[in-house]
Structure 1
Amino acid sequence: MKGSINNVKALECLPQTGVGIIYSPAIANIDLPKGLIDTLEVEPQTLCIRNADDSLQIPVNVFEQIQALPYNKLVHSIGAPVGGSLTPKRDQLDLIKYSANLFNSPWVTEHLSFNATTQFNTGFFLPPLQTERGLELAINNVTILQKEIERPIAVETGVNYLKPNTKEMNDGAYVSALAKATNCGILLDIHNLFANQLNGRQSIVDFLKEIPLEQVVEMHIAGGTELNGLWMDSHSGPIDKRLLSLTREILPDLPNLKAITYEIFDSYIPVVGDPVIISEMETVRDLWESRKIRYKAINNEQLPKAVYNVQKLNQEYQPAEWESLLGNEVIGRSSASEGTVQEERFEVYQKLIKEFRASMVARIFKLTTRYMMLVLGAEVFSAILNHFWESYPPEQLSYKEAKNFAKYLQKKEYKLPWLDRLLRYELAVLDTLMDETTRVVEFDADPTPMFNALSQGKLPETMGALGEYEVEITPETSNTDWLVLDHA
């Protein structure tokens, strides 16, 4: 691909990878019928951990196991979003390139969003500033990826829960200008566009009229849910029938479409069950096989037209100013800009980020968080989490979020008999997972009854006897499932 990555003609020559699904261990464990899927789309950051010195560690054996699976592979990065003022970091570029080369990924996709300001991480992908200056930064970031990765880059069309700002470009115009300036591919996330239209932004039809359809190389499709009157890109299960109908109409107009990928968060897979996943993949397979057939929607529920209610923050911003303002709002801090008005839709981002941060802590400190909830009650524990979030900005990595929560608890010195014991133990487990060093944790009471009870979601009926006890923690007995760069 060298020498041709900036040529739109190169997109025509990309191989078809067909029907795909986002890879996760849960997906790998499903007994998928032979021939149902062609491709695994891999988010390399979710497979890696950070060393004690914060350097990125690539588990080569895990990557090679995925490479050995009998499917095509596509690299879908979540670590170098191109929609902000921060340029991709060196370790992320190296990881993406390593993954693309190992998997022989025909193209690489990345998000047209931002998830960090110059001061802090936001803990979530947020919409970029769609102005000329914001466009210049996105063009620069895409160009960096094209040069460094040496493969075609496709940018993903994002979800945006905010009302439009009339000082910005339309969603379609912004994506179009970026694609034309860089000759990059477009990852058309049709569910994101569906959510945007339902939530009052640009309609899918108007969006598609503005973008260069010949540059669409891949489509993402997913299920969603409603929250507080808004349609959420929750990747939570079956594809909406209205979206399926719209997608069938759109597919024949995408001459260079090479793949359709179904997205579902791995946490929902046990909830919906393997049969539903298989059924959804059969639906996606049908979309792919009939993609060139011209359909006209029959009995399709009418989607609301874009209403273009303007956000209250309807003024011109510089990219860094917008990122700081939006970032501060969605993590629950006061805006740094004077004279601004609270945008009610910020509350949606705040809720999503809080849920995500809570899950990060609970996944690592399972025993500690269960103990606190059982002793204090959910309402008090929620108040503690809220105060913690006010004190510490989000982290993109689970272990960093957990470390900050541990620091917070240690400073507060809550008078709960087993809190310090459980926290010391789970911090030791975390440290052992990070540096693979065996540790011994001392207890002044037998921890077995507490461990056993908490694993069942309850407090022990009888506390362990006082005495001198030791628990040895080794890398072999630790669970590293949660030690990932989380999808934000």
Structure 2
Amino acid sequence: MRSNGTAGSRRRPGVATTYTPGHRDRLERLLPLVDYLEVAPDTFVDERSDGGSLRLDALHELRDVASDAAVIVHGVGLSIGSYDGWSDGYIRCLDQLMDTVDVAWHSEHLGYTKVRGEFLGTMLSMPRTKEALELVVERAAAVRERYCVPFLLENVVRLIPDHDSDYTEAEFLNELTSATGCGLLLDVYNLECDRANNGFGIEEFLDELDLTTVREIHVAGGVELGGVVLDVHSRPVKESTLNLAQEVAGRAPRLETVTYELLDEAVPVLGMDLIASEVVRVRDMLESSRTAGSAAVR
């Protein structure tokens, strides 16, 4: 079993939520509630470009916001696990963003969206083989060297049956973080999806995972379609997801923030009142976790 840390004295983790630049009304509502804003470069690509450039108005907005909330970056389009190479267009966007905005850290999904240059229409998780590990280790090291901020990788939902594996899920992540110095973005809702769809053992996974590498937690609410639970971030967070996040937060000594993740398309459907209340729920959960941890130490 790897080291899992303790709930001793430490800095209180912050609260974050996702934000797409260009919505000043949403921004004014969110800024008093959060410590971080998480942005996905994929959502504000300049449509007049070849896909390798971001909108200047969005970059300037994020640069101005940095005095009120730290900016963290969460990408979708890098496709770090594609055997024939990642997205050069996404890297150009990230270069532009890093040159313009002060970023606390950035993260990417540990999966792939392209095969032979063709977009799959979804994201698939990595096979847990030695070859896949070597590929991702090399690319993650290159990303860390390119940008002078921490780099995190996120666990993704398994949509297809597992390939024959050389590692358990936790072993793969432990080997990856040990070899690269990357941190983990642990999406606890994704863990719940895997448990519902594949019988994934969350408790065993957490016991085996080196939780000292977890820097960020994602919580979200999704949908069920045809008996399959999907990580479509469009709903309030279930109590079970918050409880799981609280457990991890109490055991992850280097945790920086918990992020309520929500697709931009879901914002008008849920409304800002509900979204604000979800952010407050996350903060209350963290405060409860901190209080419980302090009591345990005493």
Unaligned runs of 5+ in 2: 1-10, 294-298
Aligned to 1:130: 128
Q: CA deviation at 1:16?
A: 7.5
> What's the offset of the Cα at 1:80?
1.3
Assess if the C-alpha contact under 8 Å between 1:26 and 1:269 holds in 2.
no
Which residue number in structure 2 is paired with residue 331 of structure 1? none
For the pair 1:23 / 2:4, whether they are aligned, the reply is: no
Q: Could you tell me how far apart the structure 2 residues matched to 1:95 and 1:40 are?
A: 18
Q: Secondary structure at the match of 1:199?
A: helix
Distance, in Å, in 2 between the alignment partners of 1:26 and 1:291 is 34
Q: Does the alignment pair 1:252 with 2:239?
A: no
Q: Residue 38 of structure 2: which of 41, 47, 58 is its match?
A: 41
Residue ranges of structure 1 left out of the alignment (5+ in a row): 1-14, 296-488
From 231, 244, 249, the equivalent of 1:233 is: 231
Give how far 1:213 is off: 0.7
Give the equivalent residue in structure 1 for 2:53: 57
1:143 to 138, 141, 144: 141
Change in CA separation of 1:26 and 1:243 when aligned onto 2, cut-off 3 Å: farther
State the Cα distance separating 1:144 from its structure 2 match.
1.4
1:6-17 to 2 correspondences below 5 Å: none
| Structure 1 residue 79 displacement after superposition | 2.3
Contact 2:105 2:151 in 1 (8 A): yes
Q: Give the secondary structure class of the aligned counterpart of 1:95.
A: helix
Give the number of the structure whose residues are more often strand, by fraction: 2
Give the structure 2 partner of residue 32 of structure 1: 29
Please, what TM-score do these two structures have when normalized by structure 2?
A: 0.86
Who is 1:343 aligned against?
none
Q: Which residue of 2 aligns with 1:222?
A: 220
Greater RCO (CA < 8 Å, at least 6 residues apart): 2
Matches within 5 A, 1:66-465: 66-69=62-65, 70-294=68-292
1:34 Cα deviation after fit: 6.2
Residue-by-residue CA offset, 1:211-241 (whole Å, 9 max, x unaligned)? 2111100111100121111211111111111
- Report the residue type matching 1:47 in the other structure: F
User: SS state of the match for residue 292, structure 1?
Assistant: helix
Looking at structure 2, the residues matched to 19 and 156 of structure 1 have their Cα atoms a distance apart, in angstroms, of 18
- Cα distance in 2 for residues equivalent to 1:79 and 1:56: 11
Distance 2:122 2:72 in 1: 23
Aligned residues of 1:163 and 1:201 also touching (Cα < 8 A): no
| 1:49 alignment partner, SS class | coil
SS of the residue aligned with 1:106? strand
| Cα distance, 1:29–1:179 mapped onto 2, change above 3 Å | same
Residue identity matched to 1:281: V
Q: Is the 8 A contact 1:192 1:233 kept in 2?
A: yes
What residue is the counterpart of 2:8 in the other structure?
A: none
Deviations 1:377-412 (A, max 9, x none): xxxxxxxxxxxxxxxxxxxxxxxxxxxxxxxxxxxx
2:3 matched residue in structure 1: none
Q: Output the amino acid matched with 1:36.
A: L
8 Å Cα contact 1:84-1:134 kept in structure 2: no
Query: SS state of the match for residue 139, structure 2?
Result: helix
Structure-2 change in CA distance of 1:26 and 1:68 (3 Å): closer
Distance of aligned partners of 1:267 and 1:286 in 2 relative to their CA distance in 1, 3 Å threshold: same
Q: 1:169 to 1:193 in 2, by over 3 A?
A: same
Conserved 8 A contact 2:20-2:44: no
Shift of 1:166: 4.4
Identity rate, percent:
28
Q: Where in structure 1 do 4 or more consecutive aligned residues deviate above 4 Å?
A: 25-28
CA contact (8 A) 1:224 1:240 kept: no
With over 3 angstroms needed to count, the CA separation of the structure-2 counterparts of 1:16 and 1:77, relative to structure 1, is farther
- The amino acid of 2:211's aligned partner reads L
Aligned residue pairs, count? 280
Q: TM-score, normalised by structure 1?
A: 0.54
Distance change (3 Å), C-alpha of 1:283 and 1:99: same
Range that drifts further, 247-256 or 162-171: 162-171
- The DSSP-based 3-state class of the residue aligned with 2:159 is coil
Q: Secondary structure at the match of 1:65?
A: helix
- CA separation in 2, counterparts of 1:269 and 1:229? 25
- AA at the equivalent of 2:194: N
